[in-house]
Amino acid sequence: MEKRATMHEVAELAGVSQATVSLVLNGVPNARVSKATRRRVQEAAEQLGYRRGKAHPVPADRQRVIGLFIDEVSTTPFAAQFIEGARDEAALQDVTVATFCTGNSPALEKAGLDMLVAQKAIGAIYTTLMTREVIVPQSFSALPLVLLNCYEKRLHHPSAVPGDIVGGYAATEALIKAGHIRIAHLAGEHQTAEAAVDREKGFRQAMAKAGIEVDESLVTLGGYSIRAGRERALALLSRPDRPSAIFCFNDRMAIGCYEAARILGLSIPADLSIVGFDNEDISASMDPPLSTMVLPHDEMARWAVGQLLDGFNDLDADERMQKLKIECEYVERNSIAPPKA
C-alpha cells in the first residue's frame, strides 16, 4: 500500500495544529484562519503530497459515520496512530470516525454497536492494541466489519496486520549489511506478544539467508521494557565474547541497551550497533538517533476505512475476506556502523 502523508506531518511542517490543518484542507467555512496560515498549510500539504483519496460511494440510507473499537489504550503511541490514520482517511470523504475504547467489555462493545446501528452507520473497525488472533463477538455481525491489527483463525472479515516477520528480517539485514556476524537478539514475550515470535522468525531467517549461525546464548526471551533491555544487555555486553550488534524487539528495550552500553563505557555505534522496532517518537532524539522499524499503523487504519467504504461495491468475496500484511519501513539513523576490526 502506498504510504501517504498524514495531517500530523502536514501540521509539523506548517508549524500549526492538526485542527488548523483539518479546517484548511477540508474547506470548513467561516474558519478563523489567516491567509498566511492557510498558505503555509496548503504549501506543506503540496510539498508532502497530501491529497484527497478516491471518491467512495456511500448509500443514501447510511450516515457518514464509522465506529472504531479499540480494546485498550496504553502509554504506547499505537492507539493514537490507529485513531489518527482512520480519522484522516475518513475525513477525505467527509466521514466521521466515532472511537470506542472498550477494555474488551462486552457491555461497552454492545452499547457502541447499538448506537452505530441506530444511526445507520457505514460500518465498524475492530482493533486490538497488540497484534493477535481474536474471536469476534457475534454482536458485530450487525454492521459491515473490518479487523485492524488482529485476525481470525477462519477468515470472516477482512483484516490488516503488520508484516513483523519481514520487519525482523529487514532490521537484522541492516546489521548484517554493515558487516556484523555476532548479532544478539533481545526478543519479546512469546507468551503474550505474537509480534515477538514473528520478529524473532525474521531475525533467524535473515541470519540463515546470510549463512550466519545463530549463537543461541545471544538470544534472550521475555521482555519489552527499558529495564529488561538494560538488564539483558548488561549481561550480554559483560561477556568476553560480547556481541558487536543487537537487534531489539522494540525501541524501549533499545533504550535499555543504550543505558547498558554507557554503564560499561561502550560507544554507540563505534563499539556496539543497535537497531530497534516501533519507531517511537523518542527514537529520533536518542544519542545517537536510533535506527528502527516503523509499524504501519497509519496505513493499516487507512486501509481499514477504505475497505468499509468500498464494501458496498461488487467486490469479490475472496478479495474482501483477506488477511493483509503491511510492510514495516526501515528508518536508517546513526546507531549502526561496521564492527571494529
Which of 24-28, 291-295, 315-319, 326-330 is predicted with the least confidence, judged by mean pLDDT? 315-319
Residue length, the chain?
A: 341
CA 8 to each of CA 67, 147, 177, 289: distance values in angstroms, whole numbers, following the listed order: 21, 24, 33, 21
Query: What are 81-124's pLDDT values in tens digits?
Result: 899 889 988 888 889 999 999 988 999 999 999 999 999 999 99
35: Cα separation from own chain's centroid: 35
pLDDT at 48 > cutoff 90: no
| Band of pLDDT at residue 28, cut at 50, 70 and 90 | low
- Phi then psi for residue 119, to 5 deg, are -85, -5
Which of 66-80, 148-162, 254-268 is predicted with the least confidence, judged by mean pLDDT? 66-80
Q: Taking the CB of residue 75, how many other CB atoms lie within 10 A of it? A: 6
Which of 16-20, 209-213, 279-283 is predicted with the least confidence, judged by mean pLDDT? 16-20
* Predicted local distance difference test score (pLDDT) of residue 314: 46
Element (H, E) at 203: helix 194-209
Give me the chain's average pLDDT, please: 89
| Band of pLDDT at residue 334, cut at 50, 70 and 90 | very high
**Sequence-ordered list of residues with C-beta below 8 angstroms from that of 9, at least 6 positions apart, any chain:** 48, 50
**Could you write out the DSSP letters of every residue in 206-262?**
HHHHTT----GGGEE-S--SHHHHHHHHHHHHTSTT--SEEEESSHHHHHHHHHHHH
3-class secondary-structure state, position 92:
coil
* Cell reading at 186: 533481545
* Predicted local distance difference test score (pLDDT) of residue 2: 54
| Band of pLDDT at residue 324, cut at 50, 70 and 90 | confident
| Band of pLDDT at residue 315, cut at 50, 70 and 90 | very low
Query: What are 281-295's pLDDT values in tens digits?
Result: 899 999 999 999 999
* Cell reading at 112: 457502541
CA 75 to each of CA 71, 78, 139, 276: distance values in angstroms, whole numbers, following the listed order: 14, 9, 29, 18
**Sequence-ordered list of residues with C-beta below 8 angstroms from that of 265, at least 6 positions apart, any chain:** none
CA 286 to each of CA 32, 171, 248, 254: distance values in angstroms, whole numbers, following the listed order: 38, 18, 15, 10
Query: What are 218-251's pLDDT values in tens digits?
Result: 999 878 899 999 999 999 999 999 999 999 999 9
Using alpha carbons only, how large is the chain's radius of gyration in Å?
Answer: 22
